Chain A
Amino acid sequence: MAPVGMPHLLGLAGVLFFIGVLGMLTRRNALTVFMGLELQLNAVNLVLVTAARHWHNLDGQVLAFFVIAVAAVEVAVGLSILIAVQRVRDTVNVDDLSALSE
């Protein structure tokens, strides 16, 4: 097998990122949209860790650590908002939650 280097890892991260984008754009359940977002964050983390390994520099890994921490907060706040929305509107279908765009 051919040796695996930076291009392979960046390519994999790109594929995962755009799968996440596709999920975010097409799905209507707000929770699945959230999971698409998580896929994107993970893909970016993979790029950061790859760069850290490539340049023998730990900054990339530290940044990935911060991304994970902030993503955890984002999930907590975002899902709380979903619970509140479900309580008021009785749906988390993003196509039905268009009050701000009308």
Chain B
Amino acid sequence: MNAILFWSCAVVAVTAALFVISRRSPLASAVALAVNMVALAALFAGLSAPFLFIIQLLVYAGAVVVFIVFVIMLLNLGEEETRGALVSRGKLLASALACCLGLALLLRAVAAGTPREAAGALPADFGGIESIGQEIFTRWLLPFEVTGLILLVGIVGAVVLAKRGE
């Protein structure tokens, strides 16, 4: 993978992620989340996944972020966390320690060596719409149909939950 693409995307993604969890205003967090999603989409493009690149932009950076912003506006949460400390110091210290430990373990495992890359050239159209469609509609047909069912249940559930009761 192109080193310049990787490092620029990595810096943008990590910075945006830190912004997401450190901003007081949920709206600023949502915008940073969109930036993070776009950086990850660029990484997908660099990893020979053009289909996922489009889907990430459409579904995540598009629909999901718009939905979150919509709910922030609807709930009028702009002023929610403007008073008091953002997080208590003890909670932050304990959580940060736990996360650093987990990350150290993970990085240790990664540094111990990763499996060798598959030999040979990448197949033509790897990650393109045609090859992904071929996979989804043959070997992954049942999970695909179940996903459709989950989407239906999700839509009905969301309407029922958000409907104003009597």
Measured CB to CB, the closest approach of chain B to A91, in angstroms, equals: 8
Measured CB to CB, the closest approach of chain B to A92, in angstroms, equals: 7
Among A12, A18, A72, which residue has its beta carbon within 8 angstroms of that of B64?
A72
Could you tell me the distance between the alpha carbons of A87 and B75 in the complex, rounded to whole angstroms? 9
Residues of B83-127 contacting chain A, CB below 8 A? 86-87, 91-92, 95-96, 98-100, 102-103, 106-107, 110-111, 114-115, 117-118, 120, 122-123, 126-127
Q: How many B residues face the partner with a CB closer than 8 A?
A: 85
Asked if A82 and B75 sit within 8 Å, CB to CB, the answer is yes
Give the residues in chain B near A3, CB-CB below 8 Å: 3
Measured CB to CB, the closest approach of chain A to B152, in angstroms, equals: 9
A interface list, Cβ under 8 A from B: 1-12, 14-16, 18-23, 25-29, 31-32, 34-36, 38-39, 42, 45-46, 49-50, 52-59, 61-62, 64-66, 68-77, 79-84, 86-87, 92-93
A-B contact pairs, 30 of them (CB 8 A): A3-B3, A7-B114, A11-B107, A12-B13, A14-B103, A19-B14, A19-B18, A22-B95, A25-B95, A29-B26, A29-B77, A32-B21, A35-B20, A35-B29, A46-B40, A49-B43, A49-B47, A52-B49, A58-B131, A66-B147, A69-B147, A71-B60, A77-B161, A79-B158, A82-B71, A83-B74, A83-B75, A83-B161, A92-B77, A92-B80
